[in-house]
Structure 1
Amino acid sequence: MAAHRKSKHSPLGGQAVRTAATLALASAATATLFEGSGHAAPQPTTAQVKAEVDRLYQEAEVATEHYNGAKEKADEARAELDRLRDEAARRTERLNTARNELGAVAAAQYRSGGLDPAVRLALTSDPDQYLERAAFAEKAGDRQAVALTSLRRELAAIRQLRSESTDELTALRGHEAELERQKAVVTGKLTEARVLLARLTAEERARYEAATAARGGSGTSARADGAGGTGAAGGSAPVRADRSSGGERTPVVAADGRAAEAIAFARAQLGKPYVWGATGPSAYDCSGLTQAAWRAAGISLPRTTYTQINAGQRVSRSQLAPGDLVFFYSGISHVGLYIGGGQMIHAPRPGSPIRIAPIDEMPFAGATRVG
């Protein structure tokens, strides 16, 4: 029989083990603390903050255009649903009227006794009068058959309208869900940007604002020039020297016709705030501004940047003329209204009012002529 093995005892007691473990953990924590403080991430520079904020604003604008598209579809679905419901109500009213008329005919036939025609002929003392009444009854029967056919038609139409209404309601709810999702993305990106900017000191914030204003090029001076409605885009001067995107000074041909009207409207909005999802009159986002400008000229544009780019004839950058829509970024997430000389009027982003800026301040993606 195998002998029992004796268990080995730790040379330290339970209390000693616990004390040693506590000291080891404390030592590790202290080492980590010093190591962490020795390798803490450096405070981001103003340029780094600006780059990150720019990225967040650009992503927010992408989400804004998706929000605008979802809102447009939701509005269309809601309008179609209302139309279907109104049509169903009108047809239901006609159905009820036809039912009442049919019921009145049935009641009259019941009161007449509903006798067999041969019996009526045998009992009548005036065959001519009977034949006259029989012809009238036949016509009434024809009208009753028409009424029944009309009832069946109205019932089928109402069923179809109710089915379409159910489908449209499902679509509406889907668009509204997408609307809320994109709204959450936009507000989240803008909140992140505000948090980053709040970390800047007053001096850093001043440098950031100066860098942002410098990126706008001659926007401030252009605004002063355009606020009075003068200049090439306003149509009151035939030629004006402006700085082009290539840094050269080139003549700008005055806009005319509808393009001049669109530009005049956009000039009148200079200084108004950018608000995502806004279409005026007190604030706009980028596509809301271009849509409103061309609406003032009598042309209806779709709501979003990625649909506006297909709303007219594509033109190259070298063929740009005042009134053209100019688009930016690979996702077609920003749009401005070209006014000539490498300049545009656009609604840049939150915190930056509607202004004139060079088209080379963002990655150019394409242009469209709608006038």
Structure 2
Amino acid sequence: MGRGKRSLIAAAVAVVCAVTVLTVPGTAFAAPNPTPTPLPTTNPTLTLPPASDKELEAVRTQLDALYHDAAVATEAYNAAEEQAKQQSAEIVELAKKIVKGREALDDMKDRAGAAARAQYRGGGLPDEAKLVLSDTPGAFLDGAGRVIQGQRATKSLLTEMTRTQQDLEQYAKDASAQWHKLETNRKAKATAQEKIEKQIAAAEKLESELEKEEKERLAQLQARAAQQAQTAWLDSGVLADVDGQASAPGKKAVQYATAQLDKPYVWGAEGPDSFDCSGLTSQAWAAAGVSVPRTSQEQWRQLTRVDVGDMRPGDLIVYYDDASHIALYLGDGKMIHAPRPGRTITIAGAGSMPILGVVRPDA
């Protein structure tokens, strides 16, 4: 550990507190520990011992918290992005209806104008008056039928014009409402993006405080924690009765996901060159011909839930109480996922993180 990097725990707490204060209004935290007194400089070769496992474990915990918060913000960004896309599409459809309605209204106005001009050319007398002045009863009766038809046509035209005008007014109101929603989601995306970038930057800064040997030991601690969680999960017997076979779409989803191995995690990405966690699962199932929601929270909320003991390859495993992470089950207690920034798509133990539940896209 180099000079000026003397307290990893203090550095971790300071970084996390600074980021939390910036992103969570109204929350108060105690000031970080004061900077330790610099070591004497009389001996320029003096170095400090590497961080202890306890210190590195504290760093690991802080990194997990930072990347978890970044994952939550990423899914919020994805949700706002999806809603913005939907609202933009609805605005386009409303615009098309408004254009079509205006064309229809112009046509009806032309027809009404033609009828008025015909009446003017006929001397300005209404059809009823012309019939009264007719010389023959037969002509009167024949004309009466045409008058009734004309009256009905005129009434129908006026009714249609009124309804079209009302539709146009409603389309305009709906379009205005969608524009307001679109602007709201644009702001939500910007807020989420800012938080994502702050959390990732804080995590990267924390990791940069470590020397190469300490980074290697930290990676070992992270792998050990994941393995311990996976072992405890398997030892619980949860997979004792799991023997489900993948459905045909499930096999296609698995094939797609495994073909993405080693591609980088990028928040907000859904392929083809990079993915975030829900981008990978949604695209895997899209390749299988099944449409699923874009975010991990919506996949958890909308898809059919199954017991962990009944899961089969292709099912989606949702992690953490806030459903902020998701992976695709491969079978034999393994899953494939896009872990976090700085990592690539990988296969890991399905129980290496806290499981919230399992959902099946093709139930």
Which bin holds the TM-score, normalised by the shorter protein?
0.7 to 0.9
After TM superposition, give the deviation of residue 270 of structure 1 in Å.
Answer: 0.9
SS of structure 2 residue aligned to 1:323:
coil
Q: Give the alignment of 1:96-245 within 5 angstroms.
A: 96-115=106-125, 120=130, 132=142, 135-212=145-222, 245=233
Amino acid at match of 1:354: I
Structure-2 change in CA distance of 1:36 and 1:95 (3 Å): closer
- Cα distance in structure 2, aligned partners of 1:136 and 1:55: 81
Asked if 1 retains the 8 angstrom alpha-carbon contact of 2:245 and 2:312, the reply is no
C-alpha spacing 1:49/1:120, structure 2 compared with 1 (3 Å): closer
Contact 1:311 / 1:370 at 8 angstroms: preserved in 2? Answer: no
User: Which residue does the alignment assign to 2:62?
Assistant: 52
- 3-state SS in 2 of match to 1:361: coil
Q: How big is the shift at 1:205?
A: 2.8
Letter in 2 for 1:180: A
Q: Using the alignment, how far apart are the partners of 1:286 and 1:116 within structure 2?
A: 74
For 1:341, which of 332, 340, 347 is the aligned residue? Answer: 332
Does the CA-based 8 Å contact 2:318-2:355 persist in structure 1? yes
Secondary structure at the residue paired with 2:234?
A: coil
Q: Secondary structure at the match of 1:246?
A: helix
Query: For the aligned residues, what is the CA RMSD?
Result: 3.2
Aligned partner letter, 2:352? E
Q: Partners in 1 of 2:217 and 2:325 — Cα distance? A: 25
Code of the residue aligned with 1:85 in structure 2: it is A
Aligned to 2:5: none
Shift of 1:357: 0.2
> Structure 1 regions of 5+ residues with no counterpart?
1-34, 218-241
Aligned equivalent of 2:261, options 259, 267, 270: 270
Equivalent-residue separation in structure 1 for 2:343 and 2:36 (angstroms):
38
- Whole-Å separation in 2 of the counterparts to 1:125 and 1:321: 90
The answer to whether the 8 A contact 1:121-1:127 is kept is no
Please report how far the alpha carbon of residue 104 of structure 1 lies from its aligned counterpart in structure 2 after TM superposition. 1.0
CA contact (8 A) 1:286 1:336 kept: yes
**How many residues are paired up?**
312
| Greater Rg over alpha carbons, structure | 1
Amino acid at match of 2:157: A
Q: Secondary structure of the residue that 1:310 maps to in structure 2?
A: helix
Q: Which residue of 2 aligns with 1:20?
A: none
Indicate conservation of the 8 Å contact 1:310/1:368, yes or no.
no
Cα distance change, pair 284–139 in 1 and its aligned pair in 2 (3 A): same
Instruction: Show the counterpart of 2:98.
Output: 88
Quote the residue 1:246 is aligned against: 234
1:368 aligns to 2:359 (yes or no): yes
- Counterpart-to-counterpart distance in 2, 1:154 and 1:66: 39
Is the CA contact (8 Å cut-off) linking 2:254 and 2:328 kept in structure 1?
Answer: yes
Cα distance between partner residues in 2 of 1:128 and 1:269:
85
User: Would the alpha carbon gap of residues 107 and 73 (structure 1) be closer, same or farther in structure 2, given more than 3 Å must change?
Assistant: same
Identical counterparts, % of pairs:
34
Secondary structure of the structure 2 residue equivalent to 1:283: coil
| Long gaps (5+) in structure 2 | 1-33, 40-48
Q: Does residue 322 of the first structure (1) align with residue 325 of the second (2)? A: no
Quote how far apart the aligned CAs of 1:351 are: 1.2
Aligned to 2:20: none
The corresponding residue for 1:359 is 350
SS where residue 326 of structure 1 aligns? strand
Residues 50 and 214 of structure 2 are in contact (CA less than 8 Å); yes or no, is this contact kept in structure 1?
no
Q: Is the CA contact (8 Å cut-off) linking 2:266 and 2:276 kept in structure 1?
A: yes
Greater shift, 123-132 or 304-313, is seen at 123-132
Question: What is the one-letter code of the residue matched to 1:177?
Answer: K
**1:285 is aligned to 2:295:** no
